[in-house]
Amino acid sequence: MLSKNKIKQLRSLHLKKFRRSEGLFVAEGQKLVFDLLDSEMKVREVFCTPELIATVEGKGFNPKNIHTSQPADLKKISQLKSSPDIVATVRIPEHSLSWEEIAGDLCLALDGVQDPGNLGTIIRLADWFGIKNILCSEDTVDLYNPKTIQATMGAIARIRLHYGNLPNYLQWANEMEIPVYGTFLEGEAIYSASLSPNGIIVMGNEGKGISDDVEPFIQHKIHIPNFPADRMTSESLNVAMATSITCSEFRRRMMPNKS
Amino acid sequence: MLSKNKIKQLRSLHLKKFRRSEGLFVAEGQKLVFDLLDSEMKVREVFCTPELIATVEGKGFNPKNIHTSQPADLKKISQLKSSPDIVATVRIPEHSLSWEEIAGDLCLALDGVQDPGNLGTIIRLADWFGIKNILCSEDTVDLYNPKTIQATMGAIARIRLHYGNLPNYLQWANEMEIPVYGTFLEGEAIYSASLSPNGIIVMGNEGKGISDDVEPFIQHKIHIPNFPADRMTSESLNVAMATSITCSEFRRRMMPNKS
């Protein structure tokens, strides 16, 4: 049985300001919590139904920090529609930004992505394509938003997000001669553009695309052509789909056998 | 002011069985409703705030079928979280399946895709890549689910979905010698596989992938490699992301200039 105060504290983590002041976020559901317990992330407390306790202990988690909880209590602390049988509080990690690492590999930069599901999908995609770092503008949706955390499907434990002043980040990249790419309607078709094995790929906001503050730092404007290529369309691809296609094309160029 | 009976009728369309018996679905929001009014889809009635009436009439829509509605009433009939200022009922079209068209072009087939948002995203993607037809297994989520309709962003007016017995469809394709592709973990890397300009690409259910009933009809098993290609991962790509990358790669092969 959880105390009223405990439930209140856990519910406060639904809000970004309390997540930041406590340095904690909430993860829900077996897949995600077990992935986090297996990762280097620091799980602080686990709240679960009695059936799951042995599994959590089996992962070497300190029994002192496991709280047997009734489904009704778990429902109260859940941030999602479906009620989980396990909830954990996890320490928000402090990632240091290594420009050396960024210079030598592919990296994503998000300029005001707003939808938590899109951010989660992009993190999962970065994990698939071996992209370890994502630079985020300050107005990009919070990574520890419950919908984002759930959409990452555990990739959150492997990808490092760095929130900060995106124009400053990119100016630095320019000075270090790291190639910076961005998707624009007037960009060169990605299938025929020259793409480097390292560099930063900037993806814009769902409605407004890449902002005026960021555009000056983009040296390579690219574009995903629709098909047939000369078909007029007022439509656009969703940012997560555009990121999928862009990352796939960058990585394809590095494959030993390609058609 | 809408009558209680009208509101009741419109709310009944939240359920698939009433959508099917009435042959109608509900579209919400300016972008989607205006796109549908501009398309060949048959909009039956429009419910909107007084400010929007001139725009709807400007699209040649019969003023007799426009109902001035208060925001409170629109909220009552809305199926979404945000309250729209315009809602329309639209006739569910009857598409005939042209095997000649399918034989000569690229086509998608969905084997039990369950998430309405994923289906909407895939429809939008098909529109981008000029794929006109999507074959759907009977257990694929209903196209006229409000979340799907909204996620299509109007592409629904241009793409034809055919629900039916997917193994039967694919057996027919096999007999007609239409190439059938499907994504499997043990498939050939898509970047080096031979891909034809026509054919059917089968995408599986979010959790279970392609079903045992469908697998025998797939001649070409393909796979999106992660990066680096030899990195072990238990993770998978979301079906909408996998569809993005697969369609992009098929269409890339047909581009006149490619790297």
In 3D space, the residue among A139, A111, A108, A112 whose CA is nearest the CA of residue A122 turns out to be A108
Terminal Cα distance for chain B, rounded: 60
For residue B100, what are the contacts with CB-CB under 8 A and spacing of at least 6?
none
* Phi and psi angles of residue B10, each rounded to the nearest 5 degrees, phi first: -65, -40
Query: Which of A130-144, A234-248, B243-257: highest mean pLDDT?
Result: A130-144
Please tell me the distance from the alpha carbon of residue B72 to that of residue B68, in angstroms, as a whole number: 12
Confidence bin at B95 (pLDDT 50/70/90) = confident
Q: Which residue of B32, B128, B150 is the best one to mutate when testing the A interface, meaning the one whose CB has the most A CBs within 10 A?
A: B128
Please tell me the distance from the alpha carbon of residue A99 to that of residue B143, in angstroms, as a whole number: 46
- CB contact (8 A) between residue A253 and residue B259: yes
- B227: which chain A residues are within 8 Å (Cβ-Cβ)? 128-130, 251, 254
- A192: which chain B residues are within 8 Å (Cβ-Cβ)? 255, 257-259
Judged by average pLDDT, the poorest of A182-186, A191-195, B50-54 is A182-186
Please tell me the distance from the alpha carbon of residue A191 to that of residue A193, in angstroms, as a whole number: 6
Q: Please check whether residue A117 is in contact with residue A151, taking contact to mean a CB–CB distance below 8 angstroms.
A: yes
Terminal Cα distance for chain A, rounded: 60
What domains does chain B contain, in order, with CATH numbers? Answer: 4-91 (3.30.1330.30), 99-252 (3.40.1280.10)
- Which tokens belong to A66? 């496991």
Which chain A residue has the Cα nearest residue B253? Answer: A259
C-alpha distance from residue A100 to each of A8, A104, A178, A200 (Å)? 43, 6, 10, 13
> How much is the pLDDT for A48?
96
What is the three-class DSSP state of B66? strand
Distance from CA of B139 to the nearest CA of A (A): 22
Smallest Cβ–Cβ distance between B191 and the set A225, A227, A258 belongs to A258
Please tell me the distance from the alpha carbon of residue A201 to that of residue A107, in angstroms, as a whole number: 6
- State yes or no: pLDDT of B168 exceeds 80: yes
Model ipTM value: 0.90
Summarised one tens digit per residue, pLDDT across range B180-233 is 999 998 899 999 999 999 999 999 999 899 999 999 999 999 999 998 876 666
Q: Please check whether residue B223 is in contact with residue B186, taking contact to mean a CB–CB distance below 8 angstroms.
A: yes
Distance from CA of A2 to the nearest CA of B (A): 31
In 3D space, the residue among B187, B178, B25, B200 whose CA is nearest the CA of residue B110 turns out to be B200
- CB contact (8 A) between residue A129 and residue B226: yes
E-only strand ranges, chain A? 24-28, 43-48, 66-68, 86-91, 106-111, 133-137, 160-164, 180-189, 199-204, 220-223
Summarised one tens digit per residue, pLDDT across range B14-40 is 999 999 999 999 999 998 999 999 998
In 3D space, the residue among B241, B121, B227, B127 whose CA is nearest the CA of residue B183 turns out to be B241
Please tell me the distance from the alpha carbon of residue B96 to that of residue B94, in angstroms, as a whole number: 7
Please tell me the distance from the alpha carbon of residue A137 to that of residue B110, in angstroms, as a whole number: 36
Give DSSP secondary structure letters for A144-175.
TSHHHHHHTTTGGGT-EEEEE-HHHHHHHHHH
In 3D space, the residue among B9, B90, B86 whose CA is nearest the CA of residue B43 turns out to be B90
- CB contact (8 A) between residue A192 and residue B251: no
Please tell me the distance from the alpha carbon of residue A213 to that of residue A216, in angstroms, as a whole number: 7
> How much is the pLDDT for A232?
63
Residues above pLDDT 70, as percent of chain A: 97
- B155: which chain A residues are within 8 Å (Cβ-Cβ)? 235
Smallest Cβ–Cβ distance between B248 and the set A238, A248, A258 belongs to A248
Confidence bin at A80 (pLDDT 50/70/90) = confident
- Which tokens belong to A43? 């799980």
What is the three-class DSSP state of B19? helix
Confidence bin at A142 (pLDDT 50/70/90) = very high
Which chain A residue has the Cα nearest residue B106? Answer: A227
- A224: which chain B residues are within 8 Å (Cβ-Cβ)? 248
